[in-house]
Structure 1
Amino acid sequence: MPNENRYFIAVIPSEEISAEITAIKHEIARVYNAEKALKVMPHITLKAPFVISNDKTEALMQWFKTITLQTIPFDVSLDGFDVFDNPKNPVVFIKPETSDALHNLQKEILQAFKSMFPNIPVHFHEDDFHPHITLAYRDLTYPDFLKAKEVFKTRNYKNNFRVKSFSLLKHNGA
Structure 2
Amino acid sequence: MKYGIAMFPSKMLQDKVNSYRKRYDPHYALIAPHITLKDPFEADENEVKSIISYIERIAAETDPITIDITKVSSFYPVNNVIYLKVEENSNLSALHDQLYSGPLEHEQPYNFVPHLTLGQKLSDDEHSDVLERLKMLDIRHSETIDRFQLLYQLDNGSWTVYETFRLKGRSGR
- Asked if these proteins are the same fold (TM beyond 0.5), I'd say yes
How many angstroms apart in 1 are the aligned matches of 2:46 and 2:102?
Answer: 18
**2:72/2:135 contact within 8 Å kept:** yes
Which one of the candidate residues 49, 52, 57 is aligned to 2:43?
Answer: 52
Give how far 1:69 is off.
Answer: 5.2
1:6 is aligned to 2
Residue 143 of structure 2: aligned partner = 161
Which aligned segments of 4 or more residues in structure 1 are displaced greater than 4 angstroms? none
Mapped partners of 1:61, 1:144: distance in 2? 41
What do the CA deviations read for 1:97-155 (whole angstroms, capped 9, x no partner)? 23222112212222xxx31245xx32231xx2111111111x32222111112112222
Are 1:42 and 2:33 an aligned pair? yes
- Mapped to 1, the partners of 2:152 and 2:115 lie a distance apart of 19
Aligned length: 156
Please state if 1:19 is matched with 2:15.
yes
**Partner residue of 2:119?**
136
Structure 2 regions of 5+ residues with no counterpart?
A: 159-173
Distance apart, 1:42 and its partner CA? 0.7
Change (3 A) 1:105 1:56: closer
Would you say the 8 A contact 1:76–1:96 is kept in 2? yes
Q: Equivalents in 2 of 1:147, 1:45: separation in Å?
A: 26
3-state SS of 1:85 partner: coil
**Distance apart, 1:19 and its partner CA:** 1.3
Gaps of 5+ in 1: none
Aligned identity (percent) is: 22
- Given the superposition, is the C-alpha separation of residues 106 and 69 from structure 1 closer, same or farther in structure 2, using an over 3 Å criterion? farther
Scaled by the length of structure 1, the TM-score of the pair is 0.77
Q: RMSD of aligned C-alpha atoms? A: 2.2
Distance 2:95 2:33 in 1: 18
> Deviations along 1:64-96, whole A, 9 cap, x unmatched?
344445432131111121001126x31000111
Residue in 1 aligned with 2:170? none
Q: Does 1:102 align with 2:92?
A: yes
Partners in 2 of 1:123 and 1:61 — Cα distance? 20
